[in-house]
Amino acid sequence: MAEVSYINPLSNEGRQIISQYGDLNQIFDEDETLIDIIIHTANQKISDDSVIPKSYADYATKRMQWAIEKKNNKNYTQAEYEYLTNSELFMQDVVIYHILCQAIAIQFNTGSRETRLFVETQGTLILERLAKIPPMARADIIDEVLDEVKVDGAINWKSLSDVIATKKLKLTDLLIDGGEIILQQDDFLDRFADNFTDRSPDRMYGILIGDSVKEQILSRMIMQKTEEYIKRIKEMSARIEIHPAIIEIGEKLKEFIPEEIGKYNQYYAGSGGIYGSVQAGKLNPEAFPPCIKATVEGVSSGGRNDAIVLLLTSFASYARLYPRIFASDESVKVSDMDPDLSITEQEILPLIFDAADNCTPPLFEDQPQEKINIISKLGFGMHDRLDINHEGETKWYTPMSCEKIKIHLPSLCHPDKSCKGINNPLSCYGRKKFQLDQQAPESEE
């Protein structure tokens, strides 16, 4: 049977493994036991020697590489990372989990894409591991882990609001009594056995509370505990000295993660065609469609709010950071393209705020709350400034279509030849920018 710490590295068993590990400096040493178990993992594909992590530090990097590839690589090969679901490596995995939590905590913000990547894929990894455990053993380990992760002996349904929002779970899938989610059979029977007179309470438990629901809840709870653990480490790091080995791993991840993500996220506009593709880069005002040029120059009272908050904010942010939004089925956030938010703060917001000042009267003079709405439309919640820890509280608002502009902002819609055959100002910008980029080399000769 798989160990509890294989599913919950924050368990009592997991903490004991960490306390007995020894000197952290050895994480950079080649580990023959680790290599041997990986090589002999069932169904493990070893296309070349680089697939095999040779040390704990190497394993930590490979763990993040797996997270990036699984999320981004269309040609992802599960067999190259089969060792991540080998329960024989439970002790090594616990150590690596804690190393990564600590390295991520000291190197990245708690709301950063790097932290989100680790936390979200930890949940994915748990589900993959559970799927490989035989059913009877899986049921036992799920109950044991759920007992450990309960808060004050219970799981409140509100703690699962995030996973319910993703539609992976529905409130109707849950059995809730007094705000608590009922999962264990003993708990179910204690509360409801007397209510069933014509059918078996045990059978009703199997019908009402499915294993898949328990697995999703367990995965979400471990993700939540991981987030809390990383936050605690970050708070403690201000008061205690961090081991040099952890600092070194964190510095390596700071270079490695953006470099790996960059292999898959090129952020091109459009889907090609006769105009090719437009790569994200500095905004080119010459390529702005007429409605955006008019907005930047200043809008008179009446259409100011929608022009600045709805039209320009979404257009400028996507045009600068992710112009291929309409050719992609990805769900993205500003920090996926602008990790430290420097582009957003130094290029995008100044353009929006300048346009707001150009309005008649200046937008923020009589409606300062619109700054909060602009931050909200970028996906950072109802706040007066950007903060990576608020990202995700609202959604990154996508650009208005030409049809909506005609209806809501008719005074800005004066199409020229660049608008022909276009249904969104972002598409118009992408096409015109591509044409200008193609002409640039000729004009320089």
Q: Hey, how many other C-beta atoms are within 10 angstroms of the C-beta on 230? A: 21
**Average pLDDT, rounded, for the chain:** 84
What residues have CB less than 8 Å from 87, skipping those under 6 apart?
A: 2, 3, 6, 129, 132, 133
pLDDT digits (tens, 9 = 90+) for 157-182: 566 665 555 545 566 666 777 677 77
Q: What is the pLDDT of residue 53?
A: 95
Q: Hey, how many other C-beta atoms are within 10 angstroms of the C-beta on 416? A: 10
Give the whole-angstrom CA distance, residue 378 versus residue 395.
7
What sign does the CA torsion over 254, 260, 264, 266 have? positive
pLDDT digits (tens, 9 = 90+) for 232-256: 999 998 888 899 999 999 999 988 9
Q: What is the pLDDT of residue 238?
A: 82
Least confident of 153-162, 271-280, 427-436: 271-280
Q: Helices marked H in 21-112 — which ranges? A: 32-39, 56-72, 90-107
Q: What is the pLDDT of residue 271?
A: 34
pTM: 0.64
Give the whole-angstrom CA distance, residue 382 versus residue 371.
9
Residue type, 242: I
With 90 as the cut, is the pLDDT of residue 60 above it? yes
